[in-house]
Amino acid sequence: MAHILVIKHGALGDMFQAFSAFASLRHAFPDDHLSLLTSSPYISLAQKSPWFDSVIVDNRPKLTDWRALLSLYRHIRRFDRVFDLQNSGRTRLYFRFTKPPFWSGQIPQANAPHLNPMARQMHTLTRQNDQLLAAGITPRPREVPMWLVEYGPIITEPYVVLVPGAASHRPAKQWPIEHFSALATYLKNCGLTPVIVGAPAHKSLGTSITQHVPNAIDLTGQTSLIELSGLIHQAHFVIGNDTGPMHIAATMDRPSLTLFSSESDPRRCAPLSLTPGYSQMLLVDDLTKLTVERVTAYLASWPLLKLEPQRKRVQSPTP
């Protein structure tokens, strides 16, 4: 039995986009011991998955912490094969100091190198498949991870998941919160309950929306990645900034609308659903210039969603 290591540290969207590569490796090595080297936010998710026999934490110690690095290098040397799906400067360093018998990654000196000159211009899903092919692995078709669908809070009324947050160091990727509040009002008038999700750091965004729409449900900071996946799977659709939960929506094959600014290149990183047409996007140079009216008009014109604002009934005065 061979011992095989897969390296994927994150981030959130990249982790979910790697699901099909994980499944392909498990299928290619059904009787071998498959381990994942990842960072702590993804440990529980990886342990719950059907692909890995063990999960190893790598919180990427400082390069000056030679004791931690030496321990990690010794651990990596025990593996017969390494598939580096992170392909970062750090993992190139891991290769340099471990030199395992087999290494798949974007390193010319590796014995299974992925040297496609267009690799950095490919979409993440295409690039991963291309790397697997270079290593002699046949990529498997993408599938909805059914092992996640049963989790998450149960919301009985039809709902839409809103993702108003983004990475704090990239504010240009965030649509103004007052626009999300106005969108939540529109969705409520369409008979849909807005459900706000995000990291604990995005709690103020959820509070801002619920102040304008008291019936919205604020779950920011209250769901694990496993629970968030199940919640998204049951949603009518998902709308948000270019950030991790939108890739969860694509992986769970839910209709979604991602708002892109010039900070990102959707040709390389757009969420891609399994069902063609489920993943939609609006791309503008500056998200502060994207009006609520344009977003609601786009949603209203999307036949799949069947949105129609409800008109308030006006009672005739009693004679």
Q: Is the pLDDT score of 312 beyond 70?
A: no
3-class state of residue 56 by DSSP = strand
Neighbours of 86 (CB within 10 A): 23
Q: CA 55 to CA 39: how far, in whole Å?
A: 10
pLDDT of 315 strictly over 60: no
Determine contact, residues 275/42, Cβ cutoff 8 Å: no
| pLDDT at residue 319 in the model | 44
Q: Assess whether pLDDT exceeds 60 at residue 106.
A: yes
Residue 207 main-chain phi, psi, to 5 deg = -65, -40
pLDDT above 50: residue 140: yes
- Other CB atoms closer than 10 Å to residue 30's CB: what's the count? 7
pLDDT tens, position by position, 180-236: 999 999 999 999 999 999 999 999 999 999 999 999 999 999 999 999 999 999 999
* Residue 51 clears pLDDT 90, i.e. is over it: yes
Write down the mean pLDDT value for the chain: 95
Q: What does the block give as tokens for 267? A: 């040709």
Statement: residue 279 has pLDDT above 90: yes
Question: What's the mean pLDDT in 113-142?
Answer: 97
> Among 158, 230, 166, which Cα is nearest to 195's?
158
The structural domains of the chain, ordered by start, are 3-143 (3.40.50.2000), 147-300 (3.40.50.2000)
Please give the model's pTM, rounded to 2 decimal places. 0.95
Residue in 101, 243, 93 with CA at minimum distance from that of residue 164: 243
pLDDT in tens, 141-154: 999 999 999 999 99
Q: CA–CA distance from 171 to each of 167, 229, 264, 290 (Å)?
A: 7, 25, 12, 15
Q: What was the pLDDT predicted at 311?
A: 56
